[in-house]
Chains A and B, each alone.
Chain A
Amino acid sequence: MLCEYCKKNPVTTHIKAIINGEPTEYSLCAECAQKFGYGSLLTNLGYNFGGLLGEFFSESEMSDLSETVHCKFCGASFDDIIHTGKVGCVQCYKTFSDRLIPLIQHIHGNTKHIGKIPGGNMLQKRPNEQLSVMKRELREAIDTENFEHAADLRDKIKEIERELKHD
């Protein structure tokens, strides 16, 4: 069954309303249900970010923001982020940090992560910690005569050390 309103997406929500004294039933898709203010258990787990942006930045600030800085990685402008309510990519957090960090502070009351960090992840962006993990793994690889893996690790370690020097 397709949504009665947009006639495009499958129905996920049934809504009952009294209109002119008549009980009426609507069958809507997720997008339209959301538009009319009906959600499910999984909606609103943080997806109303667009609305929050509007609240956070005053109109004059919003128009100031519409200059044309674009994220080098994904091409998003801050305008795009406001209009879609979605940050474009990892790099956007750096490119627009002057505006996103105050907003993040406002949402969470904090700007420093203290929770879980990626454990077995070889490409994580914490070079020093990553190096020590990799070196340990390299030793293990050599001990267990897993030379192919060891060679691979050695190359990666060199690469990171080179990057660290450049920093």
Chain B
Amino acid sequence: MIDVKNNRDIVISTHIHLFRNLDSFPFLSRTNHFERQKILNLVRETINSNDILSRNLNFIDIENIETAQAVSFVERNLISAEFLSYCTDRDLYLNKDNTVSLMVNEDDHLHLQTVCCGLNLEKAYSKADEIETILGKSLDFAFDTNLGYLTHSPINIGTGMRASLVLHLPALKDSGGIERISSNLSKIGFVLRSVYSSNLDSEGGIYQLSNQVTLGITEKEAISNLEKIAIQMINQERLLEEKLSQNIEIQDLVSRSFAVLKSAVIMSNSEFLKLISNVRLGVSTGLIADIDYDTINRLISELQPATLISSYSKPLTTKERRFLRAKKIREIISNN
């Protein structure tokens, strides 16, 4: 293994979500415009009156920014697609490097997300916990002694915390074992699902693993259980990748994929996801040495359709987009 800091060969990113509601308002589906505005104001005042929060969190005028830029936030998992669809009476705050996002009036009054590279649950949680604690000093969060933090869905009550890991599992996918693992995991309170498609046959072999139980468990336990499961999957994936990399057909596939990425003139998003997945496999098994995980992750995040468009001032056709994508890939790889 060349670079396995934070298990970055398999784990792309760590996400912590905290859901909170304000005690004196109904949950969002039963609020009116005035109540929603009041919630927005309370959160805004809280952020503005605190040094740490106001220095770190920037208000994003989600209602009035370009659609492509807003969709790009969705593609980069900074906000949910639902948040964007009904963006009236909603506020968004992001920190400078997009590792913290706070959605106000999403499905719960507050949805705080922190992101870290690789497997880094403790760091992501302590960041989220720190911000939540500051917010909780001025905001009166809905809390019940028995049921913990109350959320609009009983699925998240208790800690109100969902932790998730984005994993690259091309070898497990290739072995056909994902469905079995997913069904076993669901029995013990974890969810494994594909990120870029609706079924488990993920394009690019990218999956999301998250905890399902939020009540009767502490945040630390939930995180440590998730980590244990993740480590098992990482080890299994590495073993299978090791085997795969001995196969000359796989070596050929990896090497061809890299060559196509470096030289194609037009590239669709789904072709790109397949190729980059093969290249990532090449890097994690040591077949490819001249590209690193940061570059691969940057490619994955910057080349999705809207993110690609948002860096351009005019709307693009599919063909133009594919041309631009291929061009950007060549640039990013050659600057690597």
Which A residues contact B (CB, under 8 angstroms)?
1, 9-14, 16, 25, 29-31, 33-34, 36-47, 49, 52, 73-76, 84-90, 93, 100, 103-104, 107-126
B158 touches A123 (CB 8 A): no
A113 touches B152 (CB 8 A): no
B154 touches A100 (CB 8 A): yes
A93 touches B30 (CB 8 A): no
B27 touches A87 (CB 8 A): yes
Known contacts A42-B79, A49-B154, A115-B148, A109 near B84 by CB under 8 Å: no
Docked Cα-Cα span, A84 to B153, in Å, equals: 10
Which B residues contact A (CB, under 8 angstroms)?
15, 17, 21, 23, 25-30, 67, 70-71, 74-75, 77, 79-82, 84-86, 107, 129, 133, 136-137, 139-159, 161-162, 164, 166, 189, 191, 193, 195, 197-198, 208, 210, 213-219, 269-270, 305-306, 315, 318
Docked Cα-Cα span, A116 to B217, in Å, equals: 10
A84 touches B29 (CB 8 A): yes
Q: How far is the CB of A71 from chain B (nearest CB, A)?
A: 9
Q: What 9 additional pairs, Cβ within 8 angstroms, besides A52-B155, A108-B216?
A: A46-B162, A86-B107, A86-B152, A103-B154, A108-B157, A116-B149, A118-B143, A123-B140, A125-B143
A-B contact count (CB 8 A): 202
Question: Which residues of chain B have C-beta atoms less than 8 A from A47's C-beta?
Answer: 82, 107, 153, 155
Cross-interface CB contact of A46 among B15, B155, B217, cutoff 8 Å? B155
> Which of B26, B74, B77, B318 is most buried by chain A, counting CB atoms within 10 A of its CB?
B26
B305 touches A14 (CB 8 A): yes
Question: Which residues of chain A have C-beta atoms less than 8 A from B198's C-beta?
Answer: 36-39
Question: Which residues of chain B have C-beta atoms less than 8 A from A49's C-beta?
Answer: 153-155
